[in-house]
Amino acid sequence: MKPKQQRKLIVGGTIVFGAMTLLVAFAVVGNSMPILKVSDVVAKGSQLYGRPLMVDGKVVAGSIKRYSKPLMVKFSVRDLKNPAVTLPVVYRDAPPDTFKDDATVHLQGVIDQQGVLQADKMLTQCPSKYEKDYERLDKDKKK
């Protein structure tokens, strides 16, 4: 390859790489949403209405109400560090199998005008009973 061709290839590659980097950066910034504690959401109140966000909390024991038509779950989550602070949640889908009282949940959604988190995504943290199995598997891998 001639030096002139190499230079064109390097310049062209640099431009393409730079453009791809900018696209990825804008996509990440545009889709990012804050991960908040329940206490943060309650404290900010109406400032968060209509804004997409993620919330981590624990399901308040006895708060789960399941509906089949339409498929929906209503419950409250409490702050991980301050259990007195709670937030009502509506999730319009089948919850994960590990969803139950006192489960740690990661929710994504929007706070409505009534201060209810309208969640469109929900993940539950794996129960600690599995942690020993994972530790055992990790030890077996290292052997």
Kindly report the CATH number assigned to the domain that includes residue 105: 2.40.50.140
Q: What range defines the domain where residue 1 resides? A: 1-32
Do 38 and 101 belong to one domain?
yes
Residue linked to tokens 């109406």: 46
Helix spans in 32-130 (H)? 38-44
- Within-domain flag for 136: no
Q: Which two tokens stand for residue 115?
A: 């201060």
Per-residue pLDDT of the chain (143 residues; tens, 9 = 90+): 778 788 877 877 788 777 777 666 656 555 566 789 999 999 998 898 988 999 999 999 999 999 998 899 999 999 999 999 999 999 999 999 899 999 999 999 999 999 999 999 999 987 665 555 545 555 555 55
Q: Would you say the pTM of this structure is higher than 0.75?
A: no
Same domain, residue pair 22 and 59:
no
- pLDDT for residue 143: 54
Residue 125 has a pLDDT of 84
Q: Same domain for 18 and 73?
A: no
Contacts of 84 (CB under 8 A, 6+ apart): 78
| 76 and 44 together in one domain | yes
Are residues 78 and 17 both part of a single domain? no
What's residue 111's pLDDT?
Answer: 93
Q: Note whether 23 and 40 are same-domain residues.
A: no
